[in-house]
Structure 1
Amino acid sequence: MYVFDGDRPVKATIRSYTEQDFDGLIRIQQESFPPPFPSELWWNEEQLRNHIERFPQGALCVEIGGELAASVTGLRVDFDPAYADHTWEEITDRGYIRNHNPAGNTLYIVDICARPAYRKLGLGKWMMLSMYEVVVELKLERLLGGGRLPGYHRVADEMTAEDYVCSVLEGERKDPVLTFLLRCGRTPVKLVSDYLEDEESLNYAMLMEWRNPFLAAKREGF
């Protein structure tokens, strides 16, 4: 496919990542989440090996000019909206996804990131759309994940996390992650505290979902 740097088309490939990509995937993490993001949350080889062995459909990367530019990782879980509270560590097994459930009803996003030099190409949205295709192909109910609120720390003395989210949803301010997820078609489910150790978000995250429209149509008899 082609992505665009301004008006210039740039050839890109979205594909499953493999063991040969591990060094490049770790580099993406290091560049995407510099300090104060905890370095122990960057991928390690054991985690990456679990991703490609347990759920290769949920382990995707973007390659441009022979280099890895971005990646997204997911696992299947059985999600009940009535019991939505969880932490990132609990639902992703700290990124090791040993709790991947092949019969789960939900594709849960463990991580999505792009190297800073490639972010103007819109790779995040293309990766999210690719994951929506996985949801449809596997006939899952939804795609779900926790969205960080990296802009919240700037106004935490002035408003609650709930008010901050509302201000983004009402268009009064933008948040780098929450606004991006909204642009990708994700909708809010629930604000979760102590989701992830993250100084910028004060450990908050907004659960955001994308519902499989084809399952909805089937339920309604179309």
Structure 2
Amino acid sequence: MPSRRRLTPEQRRDELMDAGAQLFGERAYDEIAMEDIAARATASRALMYHYFPTKGDFFAAIWKRAHDRLLAELRIDPGEPVRTAVYRALAAHLDFYQAHTPLVLIANRSALAADPAVRGPVNADLETLCERILDACGATGHTREIASTALTGWIAFIREVCVEWLERRHLSRDEVLRMCMAVLDATAGAHLALTAPPQRLDASAPSGVSSASRVRRIHSDRS
């Protein structure tokens, strides 16, 4: 019998998460035990608990990894309108939601939805997108405050629409995309130069209350 290849701790952790992501896509969260995940990954129960103290921690790690990979792809390129970059980022999010539907529904519709470890990756991802939009549009002072509030509302709208879309499948991806962009234009778009190329902001420029803190606060209030 060939010996099992030796993995680094990070590789082993990733292997466990790969097995878990696959299993969460096949069965309901509450039906899966840590032993099931260990068996799928051909690992011991002790190894599972070595890396992840609870099933909630394990799911949160999978969810964070997925969002980290998505965030790495988000960018605003010089020379193209900010709105084009936002459209591309939103399309990437919708594709991500479609590809990870079971994870999205667990993160938003299960008892884990209020867990900070699960909410955190989502909030951080959306906070970063908001800040990049504000910076790219050169928003400062009170204009930034207004636009930040509008973006916070836009993000909340996107999340609710996307989860309902995944649950009901009553709209097409393009319909959801157009709807979300129309809401952006009607809210933050009234205060930001979305159709202009991105501007450069000095890192020390005052920005007031960030959309990041607003996103954290609104979801903290909900939970």
TM-score w.r.t. length of structure 1: 0.30
Which structure is higher in helix share?
Answer: 2
Between structure 1 and structure 2, the one with the greater Rg is: 2
Structure with more relative contact order (C-alpha pairs < 8 Å, separation 6 or more): 2
Which structure is higher in strand share?
Answer: 1
